Every structure is written in C-alpha cells, then in structure tokens.
Amino acid sequence: MQLNFSITPSIPEFVPQLTSSEREIALIEALRESEARSRAFFELASDAIILVENQQIVACNHKTLELFQAKSPEELLGLHPWDISPEFQEDGLSSKEKVIQLINRCRNETPEPFEWIARRLNGSEFYSSVSLCLIPHAKKEVHLASIRDISEQKLISEAIENHKAYLQVLAEMRRFFYGHNEKEIVASFLEIVTSGFHFAKTWYGEYLFNVIRPSIHSGPKAGLVDGDKFPVADPVNHPNPDESVFPMASAICEKNCCLINHLQTSSCFKKWQHLSETGNFNALAALPFEVNGKIEGGFVFYSESQQINENVLEYLQSGLRELSRIISERRLWEEQKRVLKFAKEKAEMAVKAKTHFLANMSHEIRTPMTAILGYTEILADSELSKNKLEESAHIIRNNAKYLLHILNDILDYSKIEAEMLKVEIKPFRLDKLLAEMESLFRAVTAEKNLSFKITNTTAFPNEILTDPIRMKQVLLNLIGNAVKFTSQGGIHVNISWAGNTNIGFGQLRIDISDTGVGISEDSLEKIFTPFEQQDNSTTRKYGGTGLGLAISRRLMRLLCGNLTVKSTQGKGSCFSIFLPQYTSSETVWSQSLQLGLKENTSTKPELRENISSALAGRRVLLVEDSKDNQRLFSLILRKSGAEVLLADNGRQAVEMVEEIMLRENSFDLILMDMQMPVMDGYTATDLIRKMGYEKPIIALTAHAMSEERIKCIAAGCNDFVTKPILRDALITAVLSNLRDENETDSTPDSPPELC
C-alpha cells in the first residue's frame, strides 16, 4: 500500500513564472519527499503502528511484527483488529463490538488513549495502551492505531496499589497488637478506626447463644450505650430479621454488612431512628466478625455524617479480615505455646526420670561391683579356708548375675523403644512353666517365711500359644517383685479362663497377688512408666531399675495381651496378666495343675558327673582376641578334658585350619569370637567353610539381638552363644554340637545340617 497522509506539498511562491508542466513536476517531487518522510516516521516509530481500512489491517511497521510475534507483515495484513484480541475485554464487551464503536467514534472526535487487551499470534495476551485517529484522505477512510505494551507497568501499578492498601491496614493494626490479649487487641482496633475515620461511637459485641452482648466501647460518645444485649433471630428458622431488630442482628444473620445511610429518613430499621436525635448519629454500619469461619461477634460504627462511603466500608472490612487473621494467629500461637510448654514439662520429667534412673543405675551397679571387687581381693588371700573360698565365689557369682539382669533390662527396653524386639509365637505347656516358677521361688519365699502357692480356679488349655521366653520373663519379674515387696504373709498365683471351653475364643488370666507394701492410687499407672517406681524411697529401700514393669506391660501388649494392677497401700497388690487364646475341638484342657513337671531338657545333653572328662579326646580351636577370655574359656575346656589351641584373630584361625586340614587329625569344634581385629569372625567363618571344614563352629558374641544370631548362622556358624558365658552353658553348647555332629556322621547318606 502506498502511504499517503494527504499532506499537500508546498511550492515556492517566488517562482510564479513556472509553467503548468513545471509546476506539476515540482508538485510530484514534493509529494515524493513527503511520502519518504512519512514512511521513515512509520517504520522508525518506537510504538507499534497499524493502518486500518474497512476494519482490516492494511499496513504495519516493524515494531508491530515484534509486538505480535509475527514473522512477516503478511501474517497480520487482512486481519481485523478483533482477530488479534481476546473475545471479550475486561468490561465484558466483545472486542469486535468495541472496535466498531471506536472506529465510528473517530468520525466525530479523536478518542483519548485507552487500555486494550491484545493477543499475540501465539495466543498470549498482554495489556496495551492504544491511541486511535482518523487520517484525512479524499477517497478512503483510514485509521491509524499506535499500540504500546504496558503489561509490566500495569502489573507494577496494581502491585503497588494492593501493597499500599495492605500496608495501611497492617501498619495501623500490628503496631498495637503485639504483647496484648484478645480483648486489648479488639479495643485497640476500635480506637484506631474511631480516630482514623472520625466515628462518633463504635462498639464490639460478643455473640453467644443467639444473643449479642456489647463488651467494648470507644469514641467521643461511647457513653451513649444502646443496651446490654440484643437477641438474634435463629438463622435457620428465621433467616430474615424484621425491622424491629438491631442492625447487628441482621448483619450476623445474613453474614454481611448492614449499612444505613441518612438514618433520619431511611426506610430501614425505623425503630432505631431515635439514634439520630439522641446522639446526632446520621449513619451506621454493622459488620459481623468471624474467626476461622465462625461468627464470634460484631462491630457497630456510628457516624455524624449523612453517609459512610464505600471506600471507608471496604477499609473496615479489610481491617476486620486482618483482625481475624491476627486473632487466629494468636490463638494458634497460644496453642503452640501450650503444646510446647507441655512438651517441655514432659521432656523435663523425662530428663528428671532418666537422671533418677542413672543415679539408681549407678547405685545398682556399684553395689554388686563393690561385692565382686571386694570378694575378688579376698580370694587372693591364700589363708582362707575352703568354706570361705566357696562362700566368696558364690557371692561373686550372684552379684555378677544381678549385673547381667540389669544389663538385660536395659537392652530389652532399648529394643522395645526402637521397635526391634521380636516375639516368637509357638505352643508350649503352661503347667511346666508354672512348675518352673514354683521351683525357683519356693526356696526364696521359705527364706522370708512367706507362703507361696500356685492354683487354678477353672480349667485351662493344656497348651497355650505365645512366646514362652517372654512369658517366662514377665512371670519372673512379677513374682520376683511380689517376693521383694512382701515381708509377711505370702504370694498367690492363680490361673483362670474366661470364655467357651469348647470351640472359639477365650482369655487366659494369671493373677499374681501379694500381701506386701501395696501401691498408692496416684502411683498405679506411674509404675508402668520407664525409670519410675512408686517413689524414691522405694528405690532406696528395695533397689531396682524401674524398668521391669514397663518392659512387662510392653511385652504383654506385643503378645496381644495386657497387664493391669489393683492395689491398696499397706495391704498388697494384684497384678493380672490377660492373654487372648483361640481354642478348637482338639484343645486339651487341664483341670488341675501338675507342678511336679519340669522343663523338657531332652534336647540338651546332660553334663556328666565327672566334668573333667566331658570333653576328653576332643580338639577345640578357640578364636578370641581378649587374653582374659582366652585364659577363662581354655581353662574351662581343658578342665573338661579337651585339647585347646588358641588364635588371636580370624586370620590366624583361617591359617591354622588350612594347615591342620592337611592332616587327618583336624579340629572337632571351633569357638569363634565374632568381633575381632585384623579379621572378624564372620569373614573367618565364611572362609573356613569354603575351605571344606564341615565340623561345628559356635559363635561367641556379646551382641544379644536376634538379628545377630541370624547373621552368625548366615556366615556359617552352627550355634550362637552370648557373653557372659557360664561354665555349664559353655560345656553344654559344646557337647550339644559335638553330639549333633556325631549323629550326622552316623547317617552318611544325609547331608550335614546347620542349626
């Protein structure tokens, strides 16, 4: 398109003598010069410029291509202006309709620059400022539109305005709200609003049980009280209050602002027009106040002006939203403070309990250690008689067992806390376990002149399904406590069954009652808390870690049962074990206890009466890095008749086995410590097995976890023995594995089986 802005070129008047032909040539030159200037302006303009003819784009400059992301003018030429705009503008009118209106308007006047939402060819939209004008032309109607992208400016402007409004509310409110309670915060808000907007009176009323009770007043005329309470209609049954109710009631029912301007002549709430006479109030606004979605009250603002304008009302509503947020945050903060205070108190109690526990542990450990160290020195006295030596050894052994009991309690509790304690559920004879309890505690109770009996009041299953080791641990702890805290009277263990004795589900109950010191009512649950006893005097008098009952209850719950207690201080206690059980038609029921039964030990070889020959003719390799343990274990084994060779670490053991396997007389058994320098027992056992050694290897370890046993067996060990190891336990383990190995040798067709 040839750009022609109809600018009439001027011909110098000092050449009037030019002929008509010469004047025509001069006019053409002037036209070319004018067109060149216009095109340069068109192309070099900093804004996008389009020419519109017959409502279509007929020309555009290079800036237009950049703004609308077009590759060439042909992509835009022929389009209507509304084709590069969204369907509707912000005011809701269609872009096409507005373009037509603006073009028609240009015929009479040049419109002011206006904002327009445009759309690029890729579909993205942007805000623009458009200047539109009609270009004078003799035959055509051409419009020029100058377009400037103002998206960034508009976003900045909106952000500034929004932030300014927010800061106005925040700055005025937050300044007073820190360090105050809710009532003081609301009062501060009323003071700020009253002074800032020159209200004559304001008040806040609490909403409770469908009644509004004014509680906080502010303003020069705050003394003019409207009343002490205002009923609110039931928002369900009477959602639209009549004109006789107070405006606040309407605001609360409708959950919206109730605004009355020109109070004297208003047709709403006529009953309250007397306010314009008594207080010279001409307008009022009532707004409900919500916190976390719940209406808690409302605010009423009185003005002496004829009306409260919308800007002020919007500010009040914004302020109430901010006030609601602040109070909500404060309540959350108060709740967090309460939770933190509780957590702190709980942590302090835990620290205190653990401090007591450590102090008790120090006492409990140092007491037997004193006896062990003291009697060890006595044993060094060569002038002691045989009886004194035996007595000293017996005392040392008992105190060492007590130290081991303390260690086991701590380990059990740590495993329970870490949720690493596993239970092994299997059937076993209850009467045999009770017979073992009777055997263990009969002599102890007799020494204290206490009666001890185990009875049953109902039939009970001959076999129960649970973890026998953990069940025994619980009974030992409960009966042991009963003996410890009872000085006269006795201990009674009773078995009963609740449920169907035929088929179905029932519950085994074991009651351990005593006539001891008893437990105060406020301490009944505390005794099941770790590191706790009834009080510190109990610890001082009777000793103990304070872990036994906590472990026992946790164990019973791991077994899907429970442990409870009833007690009267000064009269005694009764601890009750509850253990759910399933029964079937094949369940064998016991009508009475047979306490003469003893634990089945047929799987364990009996030690010979003459222990000095129990291991005669056997060659044992002891792999142990501790010199003291080497001396101890080798002494026990040699006194039983075994030939013992020593290795300080796993590498030495591998070398010795490799060397001796070349001969016929190999080791009959290897005792392998698992934690050693140079090479540990796991690696050594694995290498020895790969060399073809098939005889028993017993793991010696101080780790008592079940995972450790699995790890040792996986490495190639036949058995697993935990330190500290007593003489009989060590000899029994060795004999048991040697016997199993002999039985395997007697059946050569069967492969050797690892335990």
Confidence class of residue 197 from pLDDT cuts 50, 70 and 90?
confident
Give per-residue pLDDT as tens, 704-737: 666 788 889 999 999 988 888 888 888 989 998 9
Confidence class of residue 6 from pLDDT cuts 50, 70 and 90?
very low
pLDDT of residue 697: 95
pLDDT at 208 over 70: yes
Confidence class of residue 111 from pLDDT cuts 50, 70 and 90?
confident
pLDDT at 752 over 80: no
Give per-residue pLDDT as tens, 31-82: 666 566 666 667 777 889 898 988 999 888 888 999 999 999 899 999 999 9
pLDDT of residue 666: 81
Q: What are phi and psi of 142, to 5 degrees?
A: -115, 130
Confidence class of residue 597 from pLDDT cuts 50, 70 and 90?
very low
pLDDT at 2 over 60: no
* Comma-separated ranges of CATH 3.40.50.2300 domains in the chain: 612-745
Confidence class of residue 8 from pLDDT cuts 50, 70 and 90?
very low
Integer distance in angstroms from the first to the last C-alpha of the chain? Answer: 100
What would the two tokens of residue 580 be? Answer: 């759910």
pLDDT of residue 11: 46
What is the mean predicted confidence (pLDDT) over 512-540? 73
Give the residue with greater pLDDT, 657 vs 264: 657
What is the mean predicted confidence (pLDDT) over 92-117? 88
* Comma-separated ranges of CATH 3.30.565.10 domains in the chain: 426-590
Q: Over the Cα atoms of the chain, what is R_g?
A: 49
Q: Which of 178-187, 420-429, 691-700 has the lowest mean pLDDT?
A: 178-187
What is the mean predicted confidence (pLDDT) over 408-425? 76
The rounded percent of the chain whose pLDDT value lies above 70 is 77
pLDDT of residue 532: 59
Give per-residue pLDDT as tens, 690-702: 998 989 999 998 7
What is the mean predicted confidence (pLDDT) over 443-472? 90
DSSP 292-344: TTEEEEEEEEEESSS---HHHHHHHHHHHHHHHHHHHHHHHHHHHHHHHHHHH
- Helix, strand or coil, per DSSP, at residue 83: helix
pLDDT at 555 over 70: yes
Give the residue with greater pLDDT, 170 vs 202: 202
pLDDT at 528 over 90: no
What is the mean predicted confidence (pLDDT) over 220-236? 68
Smallest Cα–Cα separation from 493: which of 505, 507, 476, 506?
A: 476
Q: What are phi and psi of 258, to 5 degrees?
A: -110, 110
In sequence order, what are the residues at sequence separation of 6 or more whose Cβ sits closer than 8 angstroms to the Cβ of residue 416?
A: 551, 554, 555, 558
Confidence class of residue 357 from pLDDT cuts 50, 70 and 90?
low
Q: What are phi and psi of 405, to 5 degrees?
A: -65, -40
- The CATH label, of 3.30.2130.10, 3.30.565.10, 3.60.20.10, 3.30.460.10, for the domain at 426-590 is 3.30.565.10
pLDDT at 217 over 80: yes
pLDDT of residue 99: 92
Give the residue with greater pLDDT, 58 vs 522: 58
What is the mean predicted confidence (pLDDT) over 473-501? 89
pLDDT of residue 590: 86
- pLDDT averaged over every residue in the chain: 80
Q: What are phi and psi of 154, to 5 degrees?
A: -70, -40
Confidence class of residue 84 from pLDDT cuts 50, 70 and 90?
very high
Long-range contacts of 175-182 (CB under 8 A, 24+ apart): 177/326, 182/327, 182/330
* d(C-alpha 251, C-alpha 289), whole Å: 9
What would the two tokens of residue 431 be? Answer: 């009467």
The rounded percent of the chain whose pLDDT value lies above 90 is 24
Class of domain 180-308: alpha beta
Quick one: three-class SS letters along 249-287? HHHHHHCCCEEECCCCCCCCCHHHCCHHHHCCCCEEEEE
Q: Which of 423-427, 548-552, 703-707 has the lowest mean pLDDT?
A: 703-707
pLDDT of residue 604: 42
* d(C-alpha 269, C-alpha 375), whole Å: 100
pLDDT of residue 684: 94
What is the mean predicted confidence (pLDDT) over 315-324? 85
Q: Which of 279-288, 411-420, 590-599 has the lowest mean pLDDT?
A: 590-599
Give the residue with greater pLDDT, 145 vs 165: 145
* d(C-alpha 549, C-alpha 202), whole Å: 63
pLDDT at 579 over 60: yes
Q: Which of 99-103, 302-306, 689-693 has the lowest mean pLDDT?
A: 302-306
pLDDT of residue 126: 92
Q: Which of 33-47, 174-188, 565-579, 651-665 has the lowest mean pLDDT?
A: 33-47
Q: Which of 143-152, 205-214, 528-537, 588-597 has the lowest mean pLDDT?
A: 528-537
pTM of the full structure:
0.47
* Comma-separated ranges of CATH 3.30.450.40 domains in the chain: 180-308
What CATH number is given for 612-745 in this structure?
3.40.50.2300
* Comma-separated ranges of CATH 3.30.450.20 domains in the chain: 45-149
Smallest Cα–Cα separation from 288: which of 235, 218, 219, 220?
A: 235
| Architecture of the domain spanning 45-149 | 2-Layer Sandwich (3.30)
